[in-house]
A = this chain, B = another copy of it.
């Protein structure tokens, strides 16, 4: 069972409320797993397994719903590194990723490249906006 003291609990509940989400038992527990241990990268399955391991009773469908809601409300960011499954990052700030294709692990990196400057070199079609500039360095075990 994940241990929440009054203080942590209120932080999380407030954060959910600020995002316009009801602090249900499941959302509070998942937000606790996600946000109380630094920057993380999860998939639906990895978060589900972790929740079960911590004794949090939650269904996989709710994991999916919650990850999507958290992403829509800005608490998470989706990282597209694999055409087969979705990854989510608790770090919503500007940064880049190193993706290990063998293990599926993602690491944040700060390449100190100016995404806005890159974006400014793109001719954006009228009525469109840039929603992000993603940089992924791919790693694999040397053959």
Which residues of A are in contact with B by a Cβ distance under 8 Å? 78, 80-87, 98, 100-101, 109, 111, 113, 118-119, 121-122, 124-125, 127-142
Q: Which of B83, B118, B134 contacts A85 (CB 8 A)?
A: B83
Question: Which of B84, B122, B137 interacts with A130 by CB under 8 Å?
Answer: B137
Check A121–B130 contact: CB distance below 8 A: no
Question: Once bound together, how far apart are the Cα atoms of A141 and B86, in whole Å?
Answer: 23
A132–B141 touching, CB < 8 Å: no
Can you name 6 A-B residue pairings with CB atoms under 8 Å?
Answer: A111-B118, A118-B135, A129-B139, A132-B138, A133-B135, A134-B138
Distance between A130 CB and nearest chain B CB, rounded to angstroms? 6
CA separation between A80 and B119, bound complex, in Å?
A: 19
